[in-house]
Amino acid sequence: MRTSFFFLSVSLLLSIGFCSCQLAGQAVVQPPADRIHLSQAGYSLGGTKKAVILDGKPGPFFVISVAGDTAFSGKIGPALLWESAAQWAATADFSEWNEAGEYRLSVPQVGDSELFSIQEDANLMVARSLIRSLYFQRSSQALTEEFAGEWARGAGHPDTEVITHPSASTSARPSGSTAAYPGGWYDAGDYGKYTGPTAFVTWSLLHLLELGPKWKALSLNIPESQNQVPDVLDEAMVGLQYLLSLQDTTGAVPHKLTALHHAQLVMPEGDQDARYLIGMSTASTLTFVAATAQASRILRAYEADFPGLADRCLSASTLAWQWCIAHPDLKFKNPSDVSTGEYKDEFLEDEWAWAALELWLTTGDKQYRQLDRLFQVVQGRIPFYGDASWKAMLSLALHRDRLTAAEQGQWREQCLWRSEKMKGQARFNAYQVPLGMKEEDFNWGSNAIHARMGLWYLMSNVFVPKADFTTEAESVGEYLLGKNPLDLCFITDLGSRFPLNIHHRPSRADGVALPVPGLMAGGPQDVVKLQDCEVYPSKYPALRYLDEWCSYSTNEVAINWNANAILLFAWLGE
Ligand code: 9MR
């Protein structure tokens, strides 16, 4: 299997390589390798099943079994021009075909697609792979062959002597003092540990335990798999324990733990740069509040496994909340001697609303019942880049019985309005995705933005009686798995063509041909002025992507992007 993946991937690279000889600004975009774009990681039994035919003419298409029999035939939909990709394409819908197996799509005058599968747990398997990638991102811990296979590596960054940068000093933790903050996950292709993303990823994993029993039973094949608690909780504990270690007695939680500058292209264990606690910010501390409040709620059921931890999380959360009240608008800016990731956030109302919501759900304390605040901030902001209010909405969806009838009505309207708007937009392209509504849709990490749109659809199903936006959400999932203008499954080691050259130091430095598995590339983007590789294959936003190491603006990976996709595929897999 691996070999064929490799050759297919090489052919994609050649095609992209060919494209990149054509200068941006040209009117005609080179078609990608294949004219039939489909979900390369499979379709779910009982779910939507759509493929996209480039330059498809009206006519029939066939679903052919591996034995060569015609399992299903249908008609290709009307060709649509999607401006974001400057492509004419049409949809082939075979949702009606519901038998598990391996198939090809055959389109007269276009050709046959690669093999794809229809299977019971397609979404669950994707979610599992995305979750498992967090094991590979663990800091201060060696990855053994038993769990990491060919990606086994030494323990990087013990973080036992982390220096407090002046920007992070408090009365309890003076500038220049050192302490140990081991563990946690590397953020992305760099070796920084950032509080906001770590807290969000921890929260996302714990969210699965509230979502349904399936996720408690999920086996991840990680070192802790043999213990009594769910594997998802084991992985969440990597983030949670690290987060708790960061807080000092004033309640403050520093913005990040990184070196002063990004590391050289070395494996984690080869990076010897001094590490610092850097900066304070209200945004990342509020995310800490949200994650620890939610953790407290969920850990109550695991008191015997983690005695006292639920209480500890709640005290940490309320202490951090108090700190935020005293520092309500502290925006992080890199100090002049620091150039690692900034994760800046100029608007904090959404983080406030989310933190308050989690504290209210956990404690029932009226002071945290700030739903008007959440309702205000949600309006017009989904799925705005950098927004946190949808996270509150996801938690609320699982606790909707705590809303009054009037509040439920308000949410209903809001959900419906957004979802209908996205659905309307999705009608304009054969991929049936809501991207391209506004410039920000193809921002840094567009794939994560897109996953959030899918989640918004699914959340609407919960809040709006009789609503069914499942097909729309599934289209978003299909897009991430290969039904997109780039004909690429954006998650490494899934599908037949996935990024090989992600901007991820271990994947680049480990000497292993294939990248670390289960990581989602950021995806095409058009907003941030592309500043890395010299030439991009296209000026069109949906095609402005390069599977090259140099392309950190489109081909980096990040744990918080993965978390967006984890949530989408988990909700789809429920
Ligand atoms: O996702 C972040 C993007 O919005 C910023 O414009 C970019 C530059 O600051 O940084 C991105 O986040 C990176 C973070 O700062 C450091 N780790 C890797 C993240 C993904 O690229």
pLDDT tens digits for 94-116?
A: 999 999 999 999 999 899 999 99
Q: Note the pLDDT tens digit of each residue in 283-340.
A: 999 999 999 999 999 999 999 999 999 999 999 999 999 999 999 999 999 999 999 9
How far, in Å, CA of 354 to CA of 371, rounded?
Answer: 9
Which of ligand 1's atoms lies nearest the C-alpha of 443?
A: 4
- Atom 7 (ligand 1): residue with closest C-alpha? 341
CA 291/CA 380 separation, integer angstroms: 24
User: Considering its fold, how many domains does the chain have in total?
Assistant: 1
Q: Which atom of ligand 1 is nearest to the CA of 558?
A: 20
Residue type, 75: K
Closest Cα to atom 16 of ligand 1: 341
Q: What are phi and psi of 510, to 5 degrees?
A: -85, -10
pLDDT for 379: 73
Any residues with Cβ below 6 Å from ligand 1, and which?
187-188, 190, 192, 341-343, 444-445, 528, 556, 558
Choice from 261, 338, 444, 504 to test ligand 1 binding pocket (greatest atom count within 8 A of CB): 444
pTM: 0.94
How much is the mean pLDDT over the chain? 92
Q: Supply the CATH number for residue 249's domain.
A: 1.50.10.10
Average pLDDT over residues 463-485: 95
Cβ contacts of 398-407, under 8 Å, gap ≥ 24 = 398/207, 398/210, 398/211, 399/361, 400/462, 400/463, 402/361, 403/371, 407/371, 407/375
- Give the number of the atom of ligand 1 that is nearest the alpha carbon of residue 385: 4
376 lies in some domain: yes
431 is a domain residue: no
- Domain housing 284: 136-401
Specify the pLDDT at position 383: 58
Listed in sequence order, the residues at least 6 apart from 510 whose beta carbon sits closer than 8 Å to its beta carbon are 151, 153, 267, 516
Q: How confident is the model at residue 426 (pLDDT cuts 50, 70, 90)?
A: very high
Is residue 501 in some structural domain? no
What is the number of the ligand 1 atom nearest to the C-alpha of 552? 21
Residue closest via CA to ligand 1's atom 6 equals 444
For residue 387, pLDDT over 90 is answered with no
- Spatial contact of 49 and 118, defined as CB atoms under 8 Å apart: yes
Instruction: Locate the ligand 1 atom nearest the alpha carbon of residue 190 and give its number.
Output: 17
Asked whether residue 374 is domain-assigned, the answer is yes
Say whether the peptide bond before residue 174 is cis (omega within 30 degrees of 0).
no
Domain-located, residue 192: yes
- pLDDT value at 437 more than 80: no
Q: Using the mean position of ligand 1's atoms as its centre, give its distance from the Cα of residue 566 in Å.
A: 19
Domain contains 318: yes
- Does 108 reside within a domain? no
Determine what percent of the chain falls in helix, strand and coil, rounding each to the nearest 5.
45, 15, 45
Confirm whether 187 is domain-assigned: yes
Residue 457 in this model has a pLDDT that exceeds 50: yes
